[in-house]
């Protein structure tokens, strides 16, 4: 499987898709009705035709938030129509909360061990972006979806094939992304958005809800201090889906997406969903090509008391050459960014990751008030690469870098099993949960390095030859992380759910070790530490449509193993807990919802110091981020939709070595970030929608001494889409166009851990979706 190229994968997927489409055609030659404009319809599942005892009043306690939904044309009747029923509050498999007014955000999301919760019943700040938003914004990877969130900023290089972000000013690695509730199972560096039904962003630590995350540098994690990102994969809807989308991205990258979905069985209990994409061509960067392909299959079963789902996927990318971040080293000035689209990377560099991933979920309703569940996942990631990471020497833009050729492999096993139960004790209703989770990852890194090369930021290095040889084995090490935990929680509701109090704790054990094959003396045996992480949260609804909430919750950083690129490689920093206190208010006006929150989070700091060739990672006090967030989504009118908000964050350093940097600003944490997006269905042209988005990020400090800064920046995106009926079958055809970074501005986008990154140049996106 690892040896398959992107072309081979997509060829196989395309042949399978065509065959699947053919057998789905009725014997008369008529194609079954397809979903018109969106696939994320209100969730349903299947039971026998006659209602049974499981449809009791108690089961209706599922909190699915606002009843407001956008209208979708009713499909033609089918011979074996599904029989809907409400999935119990103790179940999550086979259902997602319905979309909110406007279709861009859902009415709720999964909350780890607490199950699915509506926005107004969630004692945290959480947003769940829908597949409708993904399709309409032509999101290529998850980082494109996260551009809508004011509390999230992508911090890794555009055009570099990685999706690491800051959430509330804290690092969250792409290796920590969750897939169907299992963290570390999604593709390691970047995840394509074509197979994703929901992108759930939970802000703040979540050790109780999800356990520890594993990812980060090598096999260690920042602990998901600022928040977590969970991806829900697509499954078959009650309407057949046969959808083909042609895509174009500047400068000359063409591609196609295939989306097929069917349900089978007497009551449509069985579902099959296939998503595949392929693209190839020149990117908006000069001299860069990107060939990408994936195929993801989802199979699910929805029975009366049993629900199950199986997902398996493979993706491959071939990026030549990859854009990288810039190390600051000992420079005393940051140069002006080069002109947009200039390719500062050497032409012989490449980056070629592949990912195989799978999850298996299952639930059984043991009684009308108790559900047992389990979910298991496996992920195998392989990355081959050759590139130098440039380091800035001075304000004139002189660069130096050491080319490295390497291979990295990540193998991850994850699983969670537990029981949820509803119990009434007098006037108090309890939703209780106990679960056990494990996460096991091994990381193998082999790296060869060549001698230093030098060039300039403003001149494309097309005349620098590839190194003749690399040191045979500059680095070879195996790192392992073993995580396990058991969690318990109880959400107590009273006064018709107007008061909800959640209390819980998780006992976590984290261990890590490193075996350095090139220097056995620096190896470290596996060391483990156990700790309790408690959480308390409350929701109070004083009047209808208003929720007040507060929480105290902790996170836990896994033991940090310093990677091989540093002089102190193999050093293991012990795990430490982090804390958050948060409070806020939510207002649901029926078609528009707003959340205002305040948070205070503290995390141990690990910084990079020294010059190129002699850099080390060190513990250096605490980073404390305090701030306020405003999130808004929904419809102002049925024709005008809004999505966005703002975040004010004061990130400071505390307890630094000898107090030298106490009180100075944290690296890469802008004081102000804002996102404002809107859509307008024009009255003068039926089916025409115009869109716009403004993204603002304030000034950022690029080093711990606050002597280097990157300026604030503003990005404007504009777009439109036009929907009309096909002259062949009467199904909708949707043409979409979007321009990102309309002004084609050149700017430094982000700073973190001793590096800075460039923003992408103006980018054109065009697509056409055909429904059959």
Residues 630-635 have a mean pLDDT of 97
User: How far is it, in rounded angstroms, from Cα 273 to Cα 75?
Assistant: 19
Contact between 372 and 393 under an 8 Å Cβ cutoff? The reply is no
Overall residue count recorded for the chain in this entry: 772
Edge-to-edge strand ranges of the sheet holding 182-183: 126-130, 196-203, 227-233, 178-179, 182-183
What average pLDDT does the chain have?
A: 86
Asked if the model's pLDDT at residue 29 lies above 90, the reply is no
User: How far is it, in rounded angstroms, from Cα 37 to Cα 329?
Assistant: 51
Residues 609-629 have a mean pLDDT of 80
Report in angstroms the alpha-carbon separations of 154 from 144, 308, 383, 602, 757: 9, 34, 21, 21, 10
The first and second tokens of residue 564, run together, are 């091989």
Instruction: Identify the pLDDT of residue 619.
Output: 72
Q: How confident is the model at residue 84 (pLDDT cuts 50, 70, 90)?
A: low
Could you tell me which residues come within 8 angstroms of residue 759 by beta carbon, excluding any fewer than 6 positions away?
158, 337, 713, 715, 741, 745, 746, 747, 748, 749
Asked if the model's pLDDT at residue 153 lies above 50, the reply is yes
The first and second tokens of residue 693, run together, are 């988005």
Q: How confident is the model at residue 612 (pLDDT cuts 50, 70, 90)?
A: low
CA contacts within 13 A on the Cβ side of 520: 0
The first and second tokens of residue 390, run together, are 């440039």
pLDDT tens, 325-357? 999 988 999 999 999 999 999 999 999 999 999
Other Cβ atoms closer than 10 A to 339: 11
Contact between 311 and 180 under an 8 Å Cβ cutoff? The reply is yes
Instruction: Identify the pLDDT of residue 221.
Output: 52
Backbone angles phi, psi at 522, to 5 degrees: -95, 0
Q: How confident is the model at residue 520 (pLDDT cuts 50, 70, 90)?
A: low
Instruction: Identify the pLDDT of residue 731.
Output: 95
pLDDT tens, 136-146? 999 999 999 99
Residues 533-539 have a mean pLDDT of 94
User: How far is it, in rounded angstroms, from Cα 678 to Cα 439?
Assistant: 40
Asked if the model's pLDDT at residue 40 lies above 50, the reply is no
State the sign of the Cα–Cα–Cα–Cα dihedral 231, 233, 239, 243: positive
Question: To which H or E segment does residue 16 belong?
Answer: helix 6-23
Asked if the model's pLDDT at residue 21 lies above 50, the reply is no
User: How far is it, in rounded angstroms, from Cα 432 to Cα 420?
Assistant: 6
Q: How confident is the model at residue 215 (pLDDT cuts 50, 70, 90)?
A: low
Instruction: Identify the pLDDT of residue 570.
Output: 65
Instruction: Identify the pLDDT of residue 366.
Output: 94
């Amino acid at each position: 499987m690892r040896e398959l190229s992107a072309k081979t994968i997509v060829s196989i997927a395309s042949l399978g898709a065509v065959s699947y489409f053919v057998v789905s055609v009725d014997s008369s030659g008529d194609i079954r009705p397809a979903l018109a404009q969106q696939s994320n319809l209100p969730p349903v599942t299947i039971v026998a035709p006659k209602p049974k005892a499981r449809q009791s009043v108690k089961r209706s306690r599922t909190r699915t938030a606002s009843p407001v939904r956008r209208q979708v044309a009713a499909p033609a009747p089918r011979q074996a129509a599904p029989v809907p029923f409400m999935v119990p509050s103790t179940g999550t498999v086979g259902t997602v909360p319905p979309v909110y007014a406007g279709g861009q955000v859902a009415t709720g999301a999964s909350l780890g061990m607490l199950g699915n919760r509506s926005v107004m019943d969630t004692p945290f700040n959480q947003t769940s972006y829908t597949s409708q938003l993904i399709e309409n914004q032509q999101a290529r990877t998850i980082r494109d979806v996260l551009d809508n969130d004011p509390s999230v900023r992508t911090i890794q290089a555009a055009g570099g094939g990685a999706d690491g972000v800051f959430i509330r000013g804290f690092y969250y690695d792409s290796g920590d992304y969750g897939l169907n509730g299992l963290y570390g199972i999604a593709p390691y560096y970047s995840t394509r958005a074509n197979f994703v039904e929901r992108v759930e962003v939970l802000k703040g630590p979540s050790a109780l809800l999800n356990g520890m995350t594993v990812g980060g540098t090598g096999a260690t994690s920042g602990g998901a201090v600022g928040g977590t990102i969970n991806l829900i994969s697509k499954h078959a809807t009650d309407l057949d889906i046969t959808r083909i989308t042609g895509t174009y991205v500047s400068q000359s990258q063409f591609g196609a997406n295939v989306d097929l979905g069917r349900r089978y069985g007497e009551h449509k209990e069985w579902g099959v969903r296939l998503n595949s994409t392929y693209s190839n061509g020149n990117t908006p960067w000069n001299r860069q090509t990107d060939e990408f392909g994936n195929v993801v299959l989802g199979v699910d079963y929805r029975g009366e008391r049993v629900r199950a789902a199986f997902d398996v996927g493979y993706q491959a990318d071939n990026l030549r050459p990859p854009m990288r971040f810039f190390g600051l080293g000992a420079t005393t000035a940051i140069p002006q960014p080069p002109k947009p689209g200039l390719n500062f990377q050497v032409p012989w560099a490449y980056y070629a990751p592949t990912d195989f991933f799978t999850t298996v979920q299952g639930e059984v309703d043991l009684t009308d008030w108790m559900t047992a569940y389990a979910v298991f996942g496996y992920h195998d990631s392989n990355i081959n690469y050759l590139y130098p990471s440039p380091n800035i020497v001075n304000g004139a833009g002189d660069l130096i870098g050491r080319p490295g050729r390497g291979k990295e492999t990540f193998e991850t096993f994850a699983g969670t099993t537990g029981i949820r139960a509803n119990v009434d004790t007098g006037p108090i209703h309890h939703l209780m949960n106990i679960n056990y989770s494990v996460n096991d990852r091994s990381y193998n890194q082999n790296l060869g390095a060549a001698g230093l090369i030098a060039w300039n930021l403003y001149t494309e290095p097309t005349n620098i030859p590839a190194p003749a040889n690399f040191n045979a084995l500059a680095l070879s090490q195996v790192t392992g992380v073993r995580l396990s935990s058991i969690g318990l929680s109880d959400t107590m509701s009273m006064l018709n759910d107007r008061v909800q109090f959640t209390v819980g704790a998780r006992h976590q054990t984290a261990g890590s070790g490193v075996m350095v094959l090139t220097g056995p003396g620096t190896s470290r045996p596996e060391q483990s530490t156990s700790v309790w992480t408690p959480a308390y949260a409350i929701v109070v609804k004083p009047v209808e449509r208003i929720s007040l909430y507060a929480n105290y919750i902790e996170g836990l950083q896994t033991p940090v193993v310093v990677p091989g690129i540093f002089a102190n490689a193999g050093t293991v920093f012990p795990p430490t807990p982090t804390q958050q206190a948060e409070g806020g208010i939510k207002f649901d006006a029926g078609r528009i919802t707003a959340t205002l929150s305040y948070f205070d989070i503290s995390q141990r700091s690990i910084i990079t110091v020294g010059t190129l060739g002699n850099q080390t990672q060190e513990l250096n006090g605490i980073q404390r981020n305090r701030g306020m967030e405003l999130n808004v989504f929904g419809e102002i009118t049925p024709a005008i939709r809004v999505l966005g908000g703002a975040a004010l964050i004061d990130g400071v350093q505390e307890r630094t070595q000898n107090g030298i940097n106490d009180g100075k600003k944290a690296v890469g944490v802008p004081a102000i970030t804002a996102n404002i997006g809107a859509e307008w269905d024009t009255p003068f042209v039926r089916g025409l929608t115009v869109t716009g988005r403004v993204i603002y990020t304030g000034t950022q400090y690029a080093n711990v001494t606050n002597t280097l800064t990157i300026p604030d920046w503003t990005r404007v995106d504009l777009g439109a889409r036009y929907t009309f009926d096909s002259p062949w079958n009467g199904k909708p055809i949707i043409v979409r166009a979007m321009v990102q970074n309309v002004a084609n501005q050149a700017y430094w986008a982000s700073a973190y851990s001793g590096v800075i990154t460039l923003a992408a140049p103006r980018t054109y996106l065009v697509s056409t979706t055909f429904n059959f």
